[in-house]
Each structure stands twice: as C-alpha cells, then as structure tokens.
C-alpha cells in the first residue's frame, strides 16, 4: 500500500520543482495530495498539480467539500507525512505562531503525522533573525527541516535559500515515515 503525504505548496518561485517532486514521489510508491496556499495560485494553476498527482488539489479553507467532512481534519488524519515544499518565510512564521488562517496551516495544526519543511526564499529572508528563530522553535517542537542550498536565487544573487534538490527531498521523505 502506498504511503500518503500531504504536499503543501506555497508562493515561492521554486514552486515549479514541486511538479518534479510529485513524479519522483510516485516513482517511490508515495501518493501526494496537494494543498495550495491562495498565494501559490498566482504562480501555478491547480490543474497542473491535479494532472501530475492524479488527485484532487485542495485550496481554500472554506471551499465546499464534495462530501460532508471537515476537510482539514480529514486530510490531516489520512496523511502519513505532511511535506511543505517550497515553504516560504510566511508559512514558517504562521506555523510557528500557531496561526491557522488557511487550509494548509489548519492541516499542520491538526495532524499527528510528521511534518517536514523545505524552505525556499531569498537569503536575506532565510537568514533573518525572526525566520531563524521560527525555525528553531519549530525544530524544538519536533518539526523537521530540509535545509535550503546555496545557489543562484531568483533575485539574481547567489546565496543560501534555494530549495533543496528534489532527490534530497524524496530521500528525507522516505526517512521520515
């Protein structure tokens, strides 16, 4: 039986790598259900993730479910793991503060599954003291992180903040079941 993960995607330019990630997860018998933040929809359409995953893409906290269920609780329960890749400074801060104002943050709050976070952002944002404190706090609660790598960033500079390589993310997912 395939492992099931919730793949949370946020509004980082690295979102396109989530497309490759879905295929690599499938190759490893890991099914992904994508949960998009509203901001991520500005960068990629949900139909892309639905086509690649073969599953419904979940978006809004108050979208009407196809069947009666409390979606964030049902999704949180079915997950063997929650992976957020790419994870912006915004989503990390919201989770760290316990803010549950969208479907993804509510799922993270409700799940008993391991949560794995792969940051992707500008080096200044990643190294910001507040972001680093949020990461430390989440690690102290048992959340795991896949460290970003140093490479050319969307702003044109080279620095730490690039999403980890897809192969590394898949390896970490497999290690966290």
In 28-121, alpha helices (H): 46-53, 71-78, 89-97, 103-110
SS3 57: coil
CB 133 within 8 A of CB 164: no
- Cis bond before residue 86 (omega within 30° of 0): yes
**Alpha-carbon distances, residue 77 vs 73, 86, 157 (angstroms):** 6, 22, 41
CB 18 within 8 A of CB 7: yes
Residues classed as catalytic = 155
**Alpha-carbon distances, residue 120 vs 50, 124, 142 (angstroms):** 22, 11, 20
Q: Which of 135, 62, 162, 139 is nearest to 103 (CA)?
A: 62
């Amino acid at each position: 039986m395939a492992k099931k993960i919730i793949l949370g995607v946020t509004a980082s330019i690295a979102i396109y790598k989530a497309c490759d990630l879905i295929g690599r997860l499938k190759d490893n018998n890991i099914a992904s259900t994508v949960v998009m933040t509203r901001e991520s929809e500005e960068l990629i359409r949900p139909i892309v993730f639905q086509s690649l995953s073969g599953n419904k893409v979940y978006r809004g906290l108050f979208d009407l479910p196809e069947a009666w269920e409390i979606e964030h609780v049902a999704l949180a329960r079915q997950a063997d793991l929650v992976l957020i890749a790419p994870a912006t400074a915004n989503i990390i801060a919201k989770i760290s503060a316990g803010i549950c104002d969208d479907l993804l943050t509510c799922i993270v709050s409700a799940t008993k599954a391991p949560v794995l976070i792969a940051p992707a952002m500008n080096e200044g944002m990643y190294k910001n003291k507040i972001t680093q404190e949020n990461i430390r706090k989440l690690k102290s609660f048992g959340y795991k992180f896949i460290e970003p790598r140093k490479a050319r960033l969307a702003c044109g500079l080279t620095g730490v903040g690039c999403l980890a390589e897809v192969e590394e993310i898949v390896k970490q997912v497999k290690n966290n079941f």
